[in-house]
Structure 1
Amino acid sequence: MHDIVVIKCGGSIIDRLSDQFFNNIRQLQRRGVKPIIVHGGGPAIKNMLEQLDVPFTFIDGLRTTSAEAIDVVEMVLSGHVNNAITRHMNAVGVQATGLSGSDARLITCVPKDFQTYGYVGDVVNVNTDFLENLLHQHIVPVIAPIAVGEDGNSYNVNADTVAGNIAEAMDAGKLIFVTDVPGIMHDGGLLPSATKADIKGLIDQGVIHGGMIPKVKAALACLSEDLQHVMIADANQAISDAGFAGTMIRQTEEAVVDDSTFSNI
């Protein structure tokens, strides 16, 4: 279903999503595109855990999630962030519904390593029939990265991973990581595209540095045989007739595309 585009909004950009972003989603729908939104919420989760004095640590970049912490994570992601995005979507005329992985068993998982991470999961299945039914009704799913385990418990899942899993399961034509930068900047301009090998070289050279490194690594982690292209784009840009513009990250040199836009979206 190559008319599907999965758009991942990082937690750091959530509070800075402008009216332009939501209008972009409306424009995409009018062109026959079927958007699916996946969002994070790391900064908001961190703030709430600290306010409630719930301890947590990071191991290998993943937040450990105790039984007490998963309640907070779910409250912030599903109760606050998800509702805010869904509410804004509907305000601009986009029919959207807020979901987490526990709704209709949308995302099921197994514990990553319970002894080490607690309630942190690895996705094992996406309920594609449920999503396809929503898209058929022109409803935009807005998905919080909470999954349900076989034990019936909620698990925290990395939002980048969820976006990649959903894009692959839905055979999406595009996966776009929207952020607060236009893409990878090089020699004073936007780098239209790069391969996995190019990215490694640009990191080694210091061209990609600081907060951009985790962004590109998250995009790289989503590449697979079934998902050959991932884009990093500015969430608040005004899209053109060709769609979002940004840096296209592709699996190999052979997987070449024309330019730095995902056409027809």
Structure 2
Amino acid sequence: MHAMVLKIGGSILEKLPDSFYEMIVELKNAGICEPVIVHGGGPEINRLLQQLEVNSPFVDGLRVTTKEVLDVAEMVMSGSINKRIVTNLQKAGGTAVGTSGVDHSLLKASPLDPTGELGYVGEVANVNDEWLKVIINHGGIPVISPIGIDESGQRYNINGDMAAAAVAQSLKGKLALISDIPGVMETIDGKQVVHTQLTKQQIEAKIMSGVIHGGMIPKIRSALNSLSAGASESVILNGLTPADLKNYIEGKEAGTKVMTDKEAHHV
């Protein structure tokens, strides 16, 4: 199975053209890859929290999640956003199945921060990939909301990039983090350039210098972590130009490919 896990960030969801969903369905129908979608929902969660006057600060790009914030995050992501993506894929002619990490214990979670400072923020301890394979083998495109659950039934909000990395590892597939920018960008000699590939060493240096900052930090770290734990490859791609996805799958230059220092020596 050539699994291709696509993480769609909340910031880009409202901007994605119909052609993006059509491209995913086309790749599935042509047997080029088996797409699996993991999505976020940050901006919509923020809007609802503001309406409800619920405070929700961030620490290192991760949302501090109280029980109240968790309920809102689940409602937005597993409810409206998940079904919107499923609808868009089906409008494009695909068969999509919306699921959350809670369903069938798809994303078995544990607390990310043992000190409790982040609240109900989890990390993925295990992925029930058998459930995903059932959906895929019956012609479906899984669409996953990153709310996880532990043995006791406690739910956790999981960073979408981290959840996508765990799913890619589990399926031994490639991971594409879909963004609204062409990749990791830097201003060099007054010009904006996109880094076509970055190693772990280069990434750490760019985080230290502030070139990579904010929400891009968990994104790029997830791309790296997915490699060290078994994903075959990871890349940050621009979803606003769907051809980038096709170009990447066909081995052409697109986005920012993230690689281990060892891999870079073979390039």
Residues 6 and 36, structure 1, Cα contact 8 Å, conserved in 2: yes
Q: How many residue pairs are counted as aligned between the two chains?
A: 256
Deviates more, 1:115-124 or 1:29-38: 115-124
Per-residue displacement from partner, 1:107-131 (whole Å, max 9, x unpaired)?
Answer: 1112333732322222111111110
Partner of 1:261: none
2:7 maps to which residue? 8
Q: CA RMSD in A?
A: 2.4
- When structure 1 is superposed on structure 2, of 100-109 and 111-120 the one drifting more is 111-120
Q: How does 1:67-216 map to 2 (within 5 A)?
A: 67-112=67-112, 113=114, 115-172=116-173, 174-185=174-185, 189-203=193-207, 208=212, 212-213=216-217, 215-216=219-220
CA distance in 2, matches of 1:55, 1:210: 19
Q: Which position in structure 2 is the counterpart of 1:234?
A: 238
Q: Structure 1 stretch 236-245 or stretch 51-60: which is displaced more?
A: 236-245
What is the SS of the residue equivalent to 2:116? helix
Which consecutive unaligned segments of at least 5 residues does structure 2 have? none
Distance in 1 (alpha carbons) for counterparts of 2:226 and 2:266: 18
Distance 1:196 1:52, change over 3 A: same
After TM superposition, the score normalised by the length of structure 1 is 0.86
Name the CA shift for 1:257/1:72 in 2 (closer, same or farther; >3 Å): farther
Q: Aligned pair 1:29/2:32, yes or no?
A: no
CA 206–79 in structure 1, closer or farther in 2 if over 3 Å, else same:
closer
Q: Is the 8 A contact 1:228 1:255 kept in 2?
A: no
Q: Is 2:123–2:163's contact at 8 Å kept on the other side of the alignment?
A: no
Give yes or no for the alignment of 1:223 onto 2:227. Answer: yes
Taking structure 2 as the reference length, the TM-score comes to 0.86
SS in 1 for 2:228: coil
**Over residues 208-229 of structure 1, what are the superposed CA-to-partner deviations in whole Å (9 max), with x where a residue is unaligned?**
5676555434423433152353
Q: Which sits farther off after the overlay, 198-207 or 69-78?
A: 198-207
CA distance in 2, matches of 1:127, 1:91: 28
Residue 60 of structure 1 deviates from its aligned partner by 3.7
* Contact 1:228–1:251 (CA under 8 A) maintained in structure 2: no
For the 8 Å contact 1:119–1:156, the answer to whether it is kept is yes
Contact 2:61 2:215 in 1 (8 A): no
Q: Classify the secondary structure of the residue corresponding to 1:194.
A: strand
TM-aligned CA distance change 1:118 to 1:206, over 3 Å:
closer
Alpha-carbon distance in 2 for matches of 1:73, 1:154? 11
Distance of 2:106 and 2:163 partners within structure 1: 11
Gaps of 5+ in 1: 259-265
